[in-house]
Structure 1
């Protein structure tokens, strides 16, 4: 896939204390295969579906052990300039832009409500080689306790146009680049335990949502929500055995009309 426009989700990775356990789990649930670990880059291991790179897993660096979580990266033509806008708009730069060989330049940051994300300036590695096919990334949502701050931040850092879903039951906003919707934002309700911080939830595509949930729970995952059928597909939210949240979605099984939206 070509380099994506600025602000488009372009890559995802996660740190796992038990890297082999993570490989077994996601191999069973999402059909992933794994490349050779690169000792030069901290045993960073790319994940493949049908020989196309779709994500990566890596063991934590010494001192960084903790609960695992998926990190979504947004494309940037200039990671240093993006890092500066992150600071200017109330975010924290957790890792300064760092060149990773000839692959590209990465940066890690946190938006004002606490969700951690990455920035990727592509080099030889442009990002996802497949999306919206079984085993590959499909969609992501920022779950936040302070949607006003989150919305202001992301729309200032990236060239997003925003629109709200017209539904009194949820506070849900979409971020567009051109005519393409690339990210969602959901206000966290009291249904979320207070100790759960804001985070970005990554969706992976599956052939059969119910079968994926059965596989995941059989291999130690916790089902958090669903399966539920929506106009976008049948999906469920899970927590993997090492504590990383993610969702699965079958985009071929849909129900109901697409929600109406209004520009913000």
Structure 2
């Protein structure tokens, strides 16, 4: 994405809920070079922050509820989580968790958009979110998979005030015209059991090498490395526990 720091309305964090925290640490450490540190406080529940150098890059956590799927989630920065939570409800979404304080780090919300795609809000206090974007191993793009793109566009522009740059096949989201993500319409190619969702993309130096590393480490390539017309080289992968995520060639963001 063209954003290089958390800004209100933009993505600020990606977080994996996994059924095997230690296996996830090994997999993503091998793939992205992450150094993981688990919060030792009992009330943190095993929450683990992955770093690139000294910068926080993403989080890994155990599944806190058995019904929760193994999946990546995306957080968007807001200046007031309570106000934004009310906007979500008024715009046809649903707040599932919060607003709630997370120690002194910030204020947190989990919500669904009208199509059922989950996302999170983060009102920063001591912790602003990711300290690195777009570099290999860090968050660089976020993509909404939606079965009702018109309704999704209305919802997200109402809640966050995003700018929209549509084309024939793809819609790009932005903050003040600076793009950070996009939207794909879920057509008949998507099995009906796949729900609408947000998909984070992480930058890598080499998409083909990254996909090969993921497969050697027990992951699966759901979409083999592909160069998009007038766009980046990307792949969509699944980790050994089943979480989907994308990778793209660093320098191709936006």
For the criterion TM > 0.5, the same-fold answer is yes
1:201 correspondence with 2:199: yes
The alignment's TM-score, normalised by the length of structure 1, stands at 0.90
Partner of 1:250: 249
The whole-number CA distance in structure 1 between the counterparts of 2:31 and 2:174 is 30
The structure 1 residue matched to 2:126, chosen from 124, 128, 136, is 124
Match of 2:59 in 1: 56
2:49 counterpart of 1:46: yes
Q: Distance in 2 between matches of 1:3 and 1:191?
A: 34
1:64 offset after TM fit, Å? 3.1
SS for the counterpart of 1:203 is strand
Task: Return the TM-score normalized by structure 2.
Answer: 0.93
Partner of 2:178: 180
Note if 1:74 corresponds to 2:76.
Answer: yes
> d(CA) in 1 for partners of 2:61 and 2:222?
25
Alpha-carbon shift at residue 36 of structure 1 (Å): 3.0
Say which SS state the counterpart of residue 56 (structure 1) adopts: strand
Match of 1:154 in 2: 156
Q: State whether structure 2 residue 111 is matched by structure 1 residue 102.
A: no
Distance 2:251 2:175 in 1: 24
Shift, 1:101, TM fit:
1.3
What CA deviation, in whole Å up to 9, does each residue of 1:17-36 have, x standing for no partner?
11001011111111111013
The number of residue pairs the alignment matches comes to 250
Is there any run of 5+ residues in structure 2 with no aligned partner, and where? none
Q: Secondary structure at the match of 2:209?
A: helix
Pairwise CA distance, 1:89? 0.7
Structure 2 distance, partners of 1:253, 1:76, is 26
Deviation of the 1:84 alpha carbon: 0.2
User: In the alignment, does 2:165 pair up with 1:163?
Assistant: yes
> Over aligned residue pairs, what C-alpha RMSD do you find?
1.8
1:47 and 1:55 in contact (8 A); partners too: yes
Q: Which consecutive unaligned segments of at least 5 residues does structure 1 have?
A: 259-264
1:27 equivalent to 2:29? Answer yes
Higher-RCO chain (CA-CA 8 Å, sequence separation at least 6): 2
CA distance in 1, matches of 2:149, 2:159: 15
